[in-house]
Amino acid sequence: MKTGGRRCAGPLKAKMNRGDIGKAVGKLAGAKSLLVITGAGISAESGIPTFRGSDGLWNNHRAEDLATPSAFERDPAVVWQWYDWRRGIIAKAMPNPGHLAIKDLEGMFGHFLLITQNVDGLHERSGIRNIIEIHGNLWRVRCVRDGRGSMLMDVPLKEVPPRCACGALLRPDVVWFGESIPGEALRRSFQALEACDVLLVVGTSGVVYPVASFPEEVKGNGGFVIEINMEETPITRAADVSLFGRSGDILPEIVKELKKSR
Catalytic residue annotation:
135
Q: Residue 224 — φ and ψ, nearest 5°? A: -105, 130
Interaction between residue 178 and ligand BV8 (CB under 6 A): yes
Number of residues that bind ligand BV8 (CB under 6 A): 39
**231 near ligand BV8, rule: CB under 6 A:** yes
Greatest CA span in the chain, whole angstroms?
Answer: 59
Report helix, strand and coil shares of the chain as percent, to nearest 5: 35, 20, 45
Nearer residue to ligand BV8 within complex by CB, 63 or 193: 63
Terminal alpha carbon distance of the chain: 26
39 is a site residue for ligand BV8 (CB under 6 A)? yes
Under the binding rule (CB under 6 A), the answer on residue 207 touching ligand BV8 is: yes
Residue 36, helix vs strand vs coil: strand
Considering only residues 16, 26, 52, 257, which one is a binding residue for ligand BV8 as defined by CB under 6 A? Answer: 52
Indicate whether 247 belongs to the interface with ligand BV8 (CB under 6 A): yes
Q: Which is nearer to ligand BV8, 16 or 33 (CB)?
A: 16
Question: Site for ligand BV8 (CB under 6 A): which residue of 46, 137, 204, 242?
Answer: 204
Shortest CB 67 distance to ligand BV8, Å: 4
- Asked if 204 contacts 38 with a C-beta cutoff of 8 angstroms, the reply is yes
Residue nearest to ligand BV8 (CB): 41
Q: Return the residues of window 106-165 that contact ligand BV8 according to CB under 6 A.
A: 117-119, 135
Q: d(Cα 14, Cα 145) in Å, to the nearest integer? A: 47
Do residues 77 and 161 lie in contact, with contact meaning Cβ atoms separated by under 8 Å? Answer: yes
For ligand BV8, the closer of residues 225 and 230 by Cβ is 230
Nearest-CA neighbor of 88 among 185, 154, 151, 8? 154
Query: Binding of ligand BV8 at residue 200 (CB under 6 A)?
Result: no
The HSE-up count of residue 192 (CA atoms within 13 Å, CB side) is 25
CB of 163 to ligand BV8, least distance (A): 20
Residues 6+ apart with CB under 8 A from 168: 143, 144, 145, 146
Site map 12..31 versus ligand BV8, x via CB under 6 A: --------------------
Instruction: Report the nearest approach of ligand BV8 to the CB of residue 262 (Å).
Output: 25
d(CA 248, CA 202): 10
**44 near ligand BV8, rule: CB under 6 A:** yes
